[in-house]
Structure 1
Amino acid sequence: MEDHMTGYNKEKRYECDVCGKAWQKPSQLETHRRVHTGERPFDCSECGKNFTCHANLLQHYRVHSGERPFDCSNCGKSFKTTNHLKIHQQLHTGEKPYGCSTCGKRFARLSGLRDHRRVHSGDRPCTCSDCGKGFKSSTDLNVHRRLHTGERPYTCSNCSKGFTRSNSLLQHQRTHTGERPFTCAQCGKGFTRSSRLLSHQQVHDVDRPFHMPFSCSDCGKDFKTAYYLKVHQRVHTGEKPFGCSICGKNFAQLSGLREHQRVHSGERPFTCSDCNKGFKSSTHLKVHRRLHTGERPYTCSDCGKGFTRSTRLLEHQRTHTGERPFTCDQCGKGFTCSTRLLSHQRVHAGNSPFPSPVCG
């Protein structure tokens, strides 16, 4: 035991002349220096991938052989390395050995703590070469890059729909299985995502009904989450970070880009069960379904007339208020909606489909 402790407390005498990090053995220093030089002398004979040390190459070989020699005694799951097994076992023990010195939040992995620290520092060292956007981790950057490449490596075995993230696929699969693993303890209602459960629980919070803790500094509108606020603020900033790789059109939300991409692909994955008509988005299908059900959820407070869309109600209300916000820049005539303005402008362009009542 004494010999072991002597080795454990051995002075780290071999210092890196680039970053100052010290090691106990010259061989450890030699391996470390490859981080700075980029040297990777150990090559995989199967795929050609390179590694800085022989131990990492041996672990990599298990990718090709499928060997997983390290088994979890709790659930039987197998792993390629002892380190992967150790990290997995923290799911069973609840151990989170890495704590943030700023806010106290704890993590099972050191990499998780490093990524988290950038929340406090604002550091985003991983930059997209296509759009210049910065990310806290290389994993987040890799996922983002799929917006530019169109890659969707996670595919649903039921409907073949593709996803950029594995957790997005998992959530989607619940639409097929009906699984709702996140259950409200008060009313028993189930949800496919934890975020939806959290939003729902505000219904039961009598002290803070529909609590909206995140406020927009521009217009004062409140939101349930910081993410919803961030998306909303793009209305004020004009930011549209999601660009179409085919035509260059930009969108404020990823969902808008996905729907737009179906204009190019012709894909209409949302089908009406009554008439089999296809739609690019679930929202468009939902509005269409009202033609079959007769539902008109948007009602005019002046005359009681109902509408299938909120935009139709807004246009209708202008007949009561007299508001005509769309004005022709050539003759000053005002219109209640943009489509009527566009039709009118053809009169000036000489492209009107209707003959002039004056000149025929």
Structure 2
Amino acid sequence: MRIHTGIKPDECVECGKKFTHSNSLQAHMRIHSGIKPYECVECGKRFTQSSNLQKHMRIHSGIKPYECVECGKKFTQSSNLKAHMKIHSGIKSNQCIVCEKTFTLSGELQRHMRIHTEMKPYECVECRKTFTQSSSLQIHMKIHSGIKLYECGECGKQCTQSGNLKAHMRIHSGMKPYECVECGKTFTQSTNLQTHMRIHSGMKPHECVECGKQFTQSSNLQTHMRIHSGMKPYECVVCGKQFTLSGNLQTHMRIHSGFKPYKCVECGKTFTQSSSQQRHMRIHSGIKPYE
């Protein structure tokens, strides 16, 4: 009858929470004492209440008794189904106080807030890189483990993430869904579009610590740094000459192969480099830039 009357005579001495039955109070007290008498026989995880253990066992058994009437998705717990139903209702009652972005779940808002606070509580034990979400850390760990579960059916390339495989498949399909609003150029990946936009904005976030020259991409900065370090990783297999850029090595190899892809449209003379062809064209045009 206490359920109907609302009477809760049993009170927790630690936090003041009240209960209708003494056994409910006893179960609650395990939160404060840390006692977890119910253990999972599959993974050893322990719980304060037998009901929580029963819910947990569904992870191992695969039983998902709670089904969404909208899309048919199933869940192990009723609370997860309730949270999921907010997606269909469109209700986003959790709003960020910084940027006013709204979310359906409070957990999503909490994860989002780490963007503003720059809090990254999940750290990789291998390289100490930190992440805002545990799922991002789990994905990152595949880099260290070498596990690549996702394989391209076209060329056999393997990827650590399903998203990377999807992006890679666009190479084969030719799909470029990301378009620049300034010039209309399209890209297979959103990150490539973001990098490209720096051409229009003039943003060059990557600066050389030696000379102060700035670049739109980190890869261009890394290549530039070879000028200061003197590193020339690309070596000609014929004469042993070394180069800072792979493109310079490719151009140099034409000397040995005799390949001259640049042809003068006036007299038919061929050249190994486009710059040599351009200089030659001055003979026909009569342009003398150096007076």
**CA, structure 1 residues 33+160, in 2 after alignment: closer, same or farther (shift >3 Å)?**
farther
Q: 1:178 to 1:60 in 2, by over 3 A?
A: same
CA contact 1:130–1:148 (8 Å) conserved in 2:
no
Q: 1:77 aligned to 2:101?
A: yes
Shift of 1:71: 2.0
Match of 2:143 in 1: 119
What amino acid maps onto 1:46 in structure 2?
Answer: E
Q: Kindly indicate whether residue 282 of structure 2 is the aligned counterpart of residue 306 of structure 1.
A: no
Counterpart for residue 258 of structure 2: none
1:50 aligns with 2:74: yes
Distance in 1 separating the partners of 2:51 and 2:243: 58
1:109 Cα deviation from its structure 2 partner: 1.8
Query: Which sections of structure 2, spanning at least 5 residues, go unmatched?
Result: 1-12, 16-27, 247-260, 279-291
Equivalent position of 2:49 in the other structure:
25
Aligned to 1:261: none
Give the superposition deviation at 1:222.
8.6
Identity of aligned residues (%): 35
Shift of 1:7: 1.2
1:178 counterpart residue number:
201
Which AA in structure 1 matches 2:63?
E
- What CA deviation, in whole Å up to 9, does each residue of 1:55-80 have, x standing for no partner? 33333333333332222222222222
How does the TM-score come out when normalised to structure 2?
Answer: 0.57
Q: Which residue pairs with 1:90 in the alignment? A: 114
Q: Distance in 1 between matches of 2:48 and 2:184?
A: 53
Cα distance between partner residues in 2 of 1:107 and 1:195: 23
> For the Cα contact (< 8 Å) 2:68–2:85, is it kept in 1?
yes
1:130 paired with 2:153, answer yes
Aligned to 2:281: none
CA contact (8 A) 2:208 2:221 kept: no
Identify the match of residue 40 of structure 1 among 22, 44, 64.
64
Deviations 1:261-300 (A, max 9, x none): xxxxxxxxxxxxxxxxxxxxxxxxxx99x98xxxx99459
Distance 1:129 1:31 in 2: 37
Aligned length: 230
1:76–1:21 distance in 2 versus 1, CA, 3 Å: same
Q: Which has the higher contact order (CA 8 A, sep 6+)?
A: 2
Residue aligned with 1:28, SS: helix
Hey, what does 2:192 align to over in structure 1?
168
Q: CA deviation at 1:116?
A: 2.6
**How far 1:142 sits from its partner (Å)?**
4.4
Partners of 2:30 and 2:36 within 8 A in 1: no
CA RMSD of aligned residues (A): 4.5
Match of 1:348 in 2: none
How big is the shift at 1:144?
A: 4.1
Q: Once the 2 structures are TM-superposed, how far is the Cα of residue 197 of structure 1 from its aligned partner?
A: 4.5
Q: Map of 1:228-247 to 2, 5 A cutoff?
A: none
Question: What is the identity, as a one-letter code, of the residue corresponding to 1:111?
Answer: S
Cα drift, residue 168 of structure 1: 3.2
* TM-score of the superposed pair, with normalisation by structure 1: 0.48
**Structure 2: how far apart are the matches of 1:82 and 1:139?**
25
**Larger radius of gyration, structure 1 or 2?**
2
Q: Which amino acid aligns with 1:184?
A: E
Identify unmatched segments of 5+ residues in structure 1: 229-286, 309-360
Q: Deviations over 1:79-132 (max 9, x none)?
A: 2222222222222222221222233222222222222333332233x2337366
- Aligned to 1:306, the other structure's residue is in SS state helix
Aligned residue in 2 for 1:274: none
The Cα of 1:47 is off from its aligned counterpart by 2.7
User: Following TM superposition, by how much is the alpha carbon of 1:44 offset from its aligned partner in structure 2, in angstroms?
Assistant: 2.7
> 5 Å matches for 1:1-360?
2-3=14-15, 7-124=31-148, 126-128=149-151, 130=153, 133-144=157-168, 154=178, 163-174=187-198, 177-180=200-203, 182=205, 184=207, 191-200=215-224, 202=225, 206=228, 208-209=229-230, 211=231, 298-299=272-273, 306-307=276-277
